[in-house]
Amino acid sequence: MKVYYCSIAYDGSRFTGFQVQPDLHTVQGYLRQTISECLQESIMVESASRTDAGVHALDQRVWFKTKTDTPAHKCPARINRWLEHVKIHQVAEVHPDFSWRNATHEKIYEYRIRFGHFHPFHEPYHWCIDDLKLAEQAQSMRPVLKLFEGEHDFELFSKHDRSRKIESHIRKVHGVELLEERTDSQPLWKIRIHGNGFLWMMVRFMVAYAFECLKGRITKNTIKDMLTIKGIDRSTRPVVVCAPASGLYLLKTLGTPQFISDTIWYEPNS
């Protein structure tokens, strides 16, 4: 029995999230079914992280045990012929005792905001905002985003779920950058956030609160207080509408396992 470790990309608008759920079309469930059919054996696909419905990925990491004779480097070409809206970048064989708990991974998320005129087919892949004046305030937005850098308590920038046992809400954000581009002659922002871990909906709440600050509805001090939970809690924090899932991309997973064997691993391009 071999263990194959993969980098995959998928269009999140086509799925109801990553994690397998009964009677729902999820990335994990679809991969399990399709790879099983392709390799003609029962496959259980495990993952490095989960994404919500509508969230996209360019470099999600998954792995599965297999008896196949197909070499790892030939698996993408074989399996991709069976897949729709999901693609495998590459596959590497890892040690049979591979455990996610023994691998250290960090992630880079990217949030995309399109300003101005947009068509319906833009909405599944961006947060579409028709106010062009906001696009002119990138210089004002950058200092707000920088507030999130460092090690903080991000509990108030996440969605609470009693079913998820979280020992600590402390996370370290290594860097946040705002890239300005244009697409179809319209302004496009890409907010990239590199961290050692992320809470549920954390990036989307960070973006939402940053925009509230940009619009003058809250202050930078409010964000600072929320990051230290200073005199503020879930019942007293400012109420915002979370940024939509459509703009969020798992851009890159960093920290390739050191026990990949017999295969050269190329970090996927973003």
Contact, 168 vs 179, CB < 8 A?
no
User: Which two three-digit tokens encode residue 34?
Assistant: 């399709």
d(CA 255, CA 264): 15
Q: Which of 52, 59, 130, 225 is catalytic?
A: 52
Greatest distance between any 2 Cα atoms in the chain: 60
Alpha carbons 37 and 68: distance in angstroms, whole number: 12
To 5 degrees, how large is the angle CA 215–CA 216–CA 220? 110
CB 225 within 8 A of CB 74: no
Q: Would you say 115 and 247 are in contact if contact means Cβ atoms under 8 Å apart? A: no
CB atoms within 10 A of CB 102: 11
Alpha-carbon span 132 to 137, nearest angstrom: 10
Decide: 56 and 10 in contact? Cβ < 8 Å.
yes
Does the annotation count 52 as an active-site position? yes
Catalytically active residues, by annotation? 52
